[in-house]
Amino acid sequence: MLNYRPYRYNDVKLFIILIPLISSINYYLTYTTISSGWRFVFTFLIDIQQGYVAWYCCRAIIIYLDKVYPYERNVARRIMMQTSITTFVGLLVIILQTLLMHYLFSDRPFPLSFFTIDIVIIGIWFLVLNGIYIGLHYYTEYQESEDSREQEKMVRNQGFLVKYGKKNLSIPFAEIAGFTIENEYAVLTTTEPKSYYLDESLDAVEQKLPPELFFRLNRQSIVHRQMVVGFDRAENGRINVLLNTTSKFPQVIPVSRLKAPAFKNWFQPD
C-alpha cells in the first residue's frame, strides 16, 4: 500500500496572482473593443471570482487524487485522470457561474459565442493549470530528494557518538576502521588507531551505521569499506575477506557461506 503524503505544494500565492492575469489575457483574446467604466470593472471582478472558485474545485480534486491515486501508482493514468476530471469540472463550474450571473444581472440574450470561443480558451487554460500542478509535483519531489540527501550528509558528517570519560565525542565515519567484540564489549576502532568501548551490543551498533559504508562480516566484526582490500574464495562457498594491513583488525576474516553473497553485492554492487 502506497503512503499518502499531505498536500505540500506552495501554490496558493501563485494562483492568487495568476488568475487575474489569466482573466486579463482572456479579455484581450475574446474582446476586440473594451470600454472602461464601472460595468467593465464589475464584470472583470466577477470573472476573477469565477476563476478562483473553479481553481479551488480543481485544487480539491488534485488533493483527493494525491490521496487515492498517487503518481507512483501509474504516472500516465494519473495525469490523464487529473487532466480530464479537472478540466471537465472546471469548465462546468465556469459555465454554471456564468449562466447564473447572466440571469441575475443581464436582460440580454446569453451570447452563444461563449460556448464557441470563450469555453475553448478557458479549456486551454485548464490544461495549463494541470501542467503547472504536474510540474509542481515533480519539482517538489526533486526538492524533497535534495533535502533528504542533505540530511544524509549531515548524518554522515556527525559520525558515531561515543563516551570517552566525561566527554561525548562524535567520531566521523570516515575515521572509523570498524567495530569488534572484546570481553563481551563492543569496541570502536579508528584508523589511527584508537579504541573506544561502547555501552551497547554489536547488533545495536549495526543499526546506527550507514549500510553502504559498513558491513557485518560475522558475529564479532563490522568493518568500514575503506578497510577492505578484496576477498578470495574458500571451501564450501565461504570467502576470506582481505583487510588493510595498517588496521588493528586481522588481515583475513572468514565470512560464512550464507553471508558471502551479501558481502559480494555490497563490495561490488551492480
Tell me the pLDDT tens digit for each residue of 151-161. Answer: 666 656 678 98
Q: Is 37 left (phi over 0), alpha (psi -120 to 50) or beta?
A: left
CA nearest neighbour of 51 among 81, 76, 27: 27
Q: Give yes or no for a contact between 177 and 213, defined as CB atoms under 8 angstroms apart.
A: no
Closest CA to 28 of 130, 96, 121: 121
205 and 195 Cβ atoms separated by less than 8 Å: no
> pLDDT by residue (tens digit) across 55-108?
999 999 999 999 999 998 999 999 999 999 999 999 999 999 999 988 888 888
For 14, the grid coordinates are 501563485
Q: Could you give the CA distance from residue 61 to residue 229 in angstroms, rounded to a whole number?
A: 56
pTM: 0.56
Domains, the chain, ranges and CATH? Answer: 12-156 (no CATH), 160-267 (2.40.50.1020)
77 CB-contact burial (10 Å; exposed 0-12 / middle 13-18 / buried 19+): exposed
Cell of 203: 547488533
pLDDT band of 244, cuts 50, 70, 90: confident
CA distances (Å), origin 156, targets 124, 129, 144, 161, 170: 48, 40, 18, 12, 11
Query: What is the rounded distance in angstroms from the CA atom of residue 240 to the CA atom of residue 153?
Result: 32
- The CB-side HSE value for 249 (13 A sphere, CA atoms) comes to 30
Q: Give residue-wise pLDDT tens across range 209-222.
A: 989 999 999 999 99
Helix axes 12-30, 119-158, angle to 10 degrees: 160
